[in-house]
Structure 1
Amino acid sequence: MGEPSLRERAIRHLARREHSRSELARKLAAHGDADAVAEVLARMDELGLQSDTRFAEAWVRGKAGRFGAARLRNELARRGVAAETIAEALASGCADGDFERARAVWQSRFGAAPADAREWARQARFLQNRGFATDVIRKLLKESPDESA
């Protein structure tokens, strides 16, 4: 058995999960020259096997329950997805707002309001690392547990 072709490699990667165009290009670059990789990527796009829009929507759908919009936006941009595609994916995949998602993430991790400034800072850092906006964090951590019910 010989070495798999670039086309076969691309199909194998896409069979496992959706990939952005730049991710797939990076994975294929080690196995062929730039022109051959560009040709394979164009063919995958032409056949509908690779789509940045589909990748972004799947990514947001899978991660929106754990991360805020800022983190999702940054992760997609890091994977080479265009800004307008990211905006569309976030608009369709994050129907419930950042506040509701932040509350769910906070509830699963902490569940109790911060007792002092040190605990407040710890909880705020956790939510900030998850990509939630500062105003959402402040609103969430000021809210008493009785108000959320």
Structure 2
Amino acid sequence: MKTNDDGKPASGPSLKARAVGYLSRREHSRVELGRKLSRFGEEDEVRAVLDSLEKEGWLSTQRYAQSVVHRLAAKQGTLRILRELRQHGVADAQISELRSNLQATELARAREVWRKRFGQLPADAGQRAKQVRFLMSRGFGQDTIRQVLRGVDIDDLDDFD
């Protein structure tokens, strides 16, 4: 248990109450919630609270991963979303499941992000470089960026099979 400077136990809500408060505002990964709670309790206490919350269904890495994808998919590319999930301790197996869904919609999402920001194909090399950098910074892959900047439509690609 954490203590104040004078050696008395720290006052305030319990670890579980703090955790439920965090989770009531938004989904958290186990790693992220553990990091937040570590300021208020010892490692063993935090681990026990996290285990309890997972058993009770309050804490779910799968729900967290889905909420991240839902929040970021409209404005970020697959690479950036997957990096965010890895940073927050989402298992590779769960990331693999989400990757295929994200990749299936990547071109459409990249086109929409590009359309909102630029709306027209680049007129020269400088504009093209600017648009490429923008889309890369959003986490879109090079093949997707190439297709967006060529103006290739998904239906046009089917004609080449």
TM-score by length of 2: 0.84
Higher relative contact order (CA 8 A, sep 6+): 1
Distance (Å, rounded) in 2 between the aligned partners of 1:33 and 1:54 = 26
Q: Secondary structure at the match of 1:113?
A: coil
| Aligned counterpart, 1:13 | 22
Structure 1 position 47 matched with structure 2 position 56: yes
Question: Which residue of 1 is the match for residue 129 of structure 2?
Answer: 121
Q: Distance in 1 between matches of 2:20 and 2:86?
A: 23
Shift of 1:46: 0.2
- Pick the structure with greater CA Rg: 2
Distance 1:104 1:120 in 2: 17
Query: Partners of 2:146 and 2:100 in 1: how far apart?
Result: 23
Q: Deviations over 1:103-134 (max 9, x none)?
A: 00000000011010000000000000101000
Which amino acid in structure 2 is aligned with residue 88 of structure 1? E
| Residues 144, 49 of structure 1: alpha-carbon distance in 2 compared, 3 angstrom cutoff | closer
Equivalenced residue count is 145
Identity among equivalent positions (%) equals: 42
The whole-number CA distance in structure 2 between the counterparts of 1:144 and 1:88 is: 28
TM-score (norm 1): 0.91
Residues 53, 89 of structure 1: 8 Å contact kept:
no
Distance in 2 separating the partners of 1:85 and 1:77? 10
Specify every segment of 5 or more residues in structure 2 that has no aligned partner in the other structure, as ranges: 1-10, 157-161
Q: How far apart, in 2, do the equivalents of 1:81 and 1:34 lie? A: 20
5+ residue gaps, structure 1, are none
* Match of residue 78 from structure 1: 87
